[in-house]
A and B are shown apart, each in its own frame.
Chain A
Amino acid sequence: MKYVDEFKDVKALQKILGRIREVIERMKKNGARFPLRIMEICGGQTHSILKYGIHEALPKEVEFIHGPGCPVCVTPIETIDLALAIAKRSNVIFTSFGDMLRVPGSDENMFETKAKGADIRWVYSTLDAVQIAKENPEKEVVFFAIGFETTTAPIAAALDMAEKDGVKNFSLLTAMVKVPPALELLLSDEDCMIDGILAAGHVCTIMGYEEYIPLAEKYRVPIVVTGFQPAEILLGILRCLENLKEHKTEVSNAYEWMVQKEGNPEARKMIEKYFEVIDRKWRGIGTIPKSGFGLRLEYSRFDTEKKFSEMPNIPERKVNPHCGAVLQGKMKPCDCPFFGKECTQQHPIGALMVSDEGACAAYFQYGGLKK
């Protein structure tokens, strides 16, 4: 498959690995300290790294720290409980991406709620949810709007379609988040051990990478816009190491065929039209200021929480501190005392094990092998 398979070619991967080894040798001669810790922030990248064994193929001088890149994992449990409560209402068709259906709320997950009679439907595209609203005018269709900026744009497109087509029975339960504020939180932590960052290529396809420039300068870390296929990730790591060797703490783009500095202007405009930046609570981390997207006041009619009368009162829940530590890259999944024992993919305790993009799930599937 074009622009996928070529980036998985073993010879190409070996070549980039060779260059990575060369850069490391030169850095050693210059007295650089190792290991160097590189953080990838996107769950899709975490998945790729572990699925293709990149973490094992890299020289031991480079280690990964897995960042909070899984929007499913960072959705607060109270939001899931709210989603389930709404889904149970008899006049509601609750639509969601497939990813969210297995994540447990405090009592049950969406599959179980569906089994007990709630009309819950998975959709591939946000636009399909609007289509369901058109086909069921007597019902209220709610879409569980989770995701990073990459997905916020398609969510805005759904509103655009709903507006243009006069759809009145469609609303969003919003939980979208932004990457840069979370990144800043991690970088500003005094225990931060991150030497370099791989920025999520698909987030930057939409938003560009201007927001990362002040972060690179302030915290003096190289940030490299990176793709997802194995060769793309290795190229991102190579660029990051080259920048570290040259002490270049700036943003560079190792995904030029996909990402422009200003991103996708049409997508950004649409996000800005419907959404404003708000504070958002991240599961396992807490509230991060200006880290989420919420509907603008003039579009409240698309906001489930404002549209529905009598929203259920969902009590706040404490979160397992280990989940939080793994999310923030302070602990590796395999260092969590419950990993692989009480918490497995068959019996998940936290969201990072349920979601396929969660660091714990990725580790369990691909890295949990002990000879």
Chain B
Amino acid sequence: MKSFECPTKGYKESDVVTMAHGSGGGAMQRLIHEVFARHFPYLQKDTDAAVLSCEGGDIAFTTDSFVVDPLFFPGGNIGSLAVHGTINDLAMVSARAEVMSVAFIIEEGFPLSDLEKIVQTMANEAEKQKVRIITGDTKVVEKGHGHGIYINTTGIGVRFGVRLRGGAWPSPKKVSVGDRILVSGDIGRHGMAIMSVRENLPIETEITSDSAPLKELVIALFEEGIHVSCMRDATRGGVASALNEIARARGVYLRINEEKIPVSEEVWGLSLILGIDPLHIANEGRFVLFVPKEEAEHALFVLRDYEEGKNAEIIGEVMREYEGGLVTAITLLGSEKIIQMPEGEILPRIC
């Protein structure tokens, strides 16, 4: 291959864990597939929650860890994120969260008043969503070793909803050519809300995190009889990551229309200053969903009835089978470009 001298010695994967591995993009996917999936044979890695068949029905089971910085941000805190995130992982496999565990790893010196606020928030949000936090664990680590607080949760839920043809449940494997792709609301709020309170980037903004439970929207879709073939919440790595993951898992070519993607004015303005694509920004209360073509308008109608879904849009369609998966977008002038899985940490740029 190499007929030239290349000083960078070709590409090599890093030999340490870097921030890129946690950013929800390509590096994280590789870590999951090459390290975790390789060693954990039972890992159900292509969905947000695993499903177990038990006598009496299917149980969904998920785990999640929360390391957000800063801990308190416009629109929520690490506690609300933890509850919503767990509920949403279960909702994405059409399961209603019933119970949760929560484990805290707290840094020595962390103010009890802050802990109280976080725990109160978790209790409030869980109560609203009728989820019981039934077990937990606490560890304290020495000062300098914990960034305030980390939270790990597990959640268990029971499947609900409309089975698809053949008795199947929504999953990437159920995506069909011709399905329409929807996004449940305007994107980029959470990531931008976090950026705006980072100490190295002081920005005044009204942007609040979109962190919210998605359970009601998902239940509504099913109660209306919508045959959702797949759902994925667009957390780290944003909509670009979620779509690429599904495209890869199913082996299809997805095409979206860039102009249809809902982005609020403020998020748009901030994304321009920072040079970050809204499709790459984390959301904590938004999901993408795939529905049959003839049900797309109905699904849109259902979503828009809810506060969290009021800016939902139909953004694209599944074009055809494509090995390895492909996501593209139609641009302003009608040309087509590839939407990549974001790589590395999403940082502001000067260029």
Q: Which residues of A contact B (CB under 8 A)?
A: 1, 4, 8, 10, 13, 43-44, 47, 50-57, 70-72, 77, 97-99, 101-102, 104-108, 111-112, 114-116, 121-124, 128, 147, 151, 230, 317-322, 342, 345-350, 355-357, 364-369
Are B343 and A1 interface neighbours, CB within 8 A? no
Query: Which of chain A's residues has its CB closest to B195's CB?
Result: A124
Query: Which of chain A's residues has its CB closest to B346's CB?
Result: A98
Query: Which of chain A's residues has its CB closest to B335's CB?
Result: A53
Are B14 and A320 interface neighbours, CB within 8 A? no
Among residues 293 to 351 in chain B, which have CB atoms less than 8 Å away from a CB atom of chain A?
328, 331-338, 340-341, 343-345, 347-351
Mark interface residues in B2-26 (1 if CB within 8 Å of A CB, else 0): 0011111111001011111000001
In the assembled complex, the Cα of A83 lies from the Cα of B8 at a distance in Å of 15
Query: Of the candidates B6, B18, B335, which one forms a contact with A112 in the assembled complex, judged by CB atoms under 8 Å apart?
Result: B18
Q: Which residues of B contact A (CB under 8 A)?
A: 1, 4-11, 14, 16-20, 26, 200-201, 265, 268-269, 272, 274-275, 328, 331-338, 340-341, 343-345, 347-351
Are B6 and A349 interface neighbours, CB within 8 A? yes
Query: Of the candidates A51, A106, A115, which one forms a contact with B19 in the assembled complex, judged by CB atoms under 8 Å apart?
Result: A115
Are B272 and A320 interface neighbours, CB within 8 A? no
In the assembled complex, the Cα of A125 lies from the Cα of B90 at a distance in Å of 41
Query: Which of chain A's residues has its CB closest to B29's CB?
Result: A346
Are B332 and A121 interface neighbours, CB within 8 A? no
Are B351 and A347 interface neighbours, CB within 8 A? no
Residues of A within 8 A of B265 (CB): 1
Residues of B within 8 A of A47 (CB): 351
Residues of A within 8 A of B332 (CB): 8, 10, 13, 52-53, 230
Are B340 and A365 interface neighbours, CB within 8 A? yes
The smallest beta-carbon distance between A128 and chain B, in angstroms, is 6
Residues of B within 8 A of A367 (CB): 337
Are B337 and A115 interface neighbours, CB within 8 A? no
Query: How many inter-chain residue pairs (CB < 8 Å) link A and B?
Result: 138
Are A346 and B10 interface neighbours, CB within 8 A? no
Are A116 and B16 interface neighbours, CB within 8 A? yes
Closest 8 CB pairs of A and B: A53-B335, A98-B347, A317-B7, A347-B11, A366-B337, A357-B351, A56-B335, A115-B18
- 23 A-B residue pairs with Cβ-Cβ distance under 8 Å, sorted by A, are A1-B265, A1-B272, A10-B332, A44-B351, A53-B331, A53-B335, A55-B335, A57-B333, A57-B334, A111-B344, A114-B19, A115-B16, A123-B200, A124-B274, A345-B343, A346-B341, A346-B343, A349-B10, A365-B338, A365-B340, A369-B328, A369-B336, A369-B337
Query: Which of chain A's residues has its CB closest to B7's CB?
Result: A317
In the assembled complex, the Cα of A348 lies from the Cα of B344 at a distance in Å of 12
Are B16 and A342 interface neighbours, CB within 8 A? no
In the assembled complex, the Cα of A339 lies from the Cα of B8 at a distance in Å of 16
Are A319 and B7 interface neighbours, CB within 8 A? yes
Residues of A within 8 A of B6 (CB): 320, 349-350
The smallest beta-carbon distance between A323 and chain B, in angstroms, is 9
Are A50 and B337 interface neighbours, CB within 8 A? yes
Residues of A within 8 A of B14 (CB): 108, 111-112, 115
Residues of A within 8 A of B337 (CB): 50-51, 53, 365-367, 369
Residues of A within 8 A of B201 (CB): 124
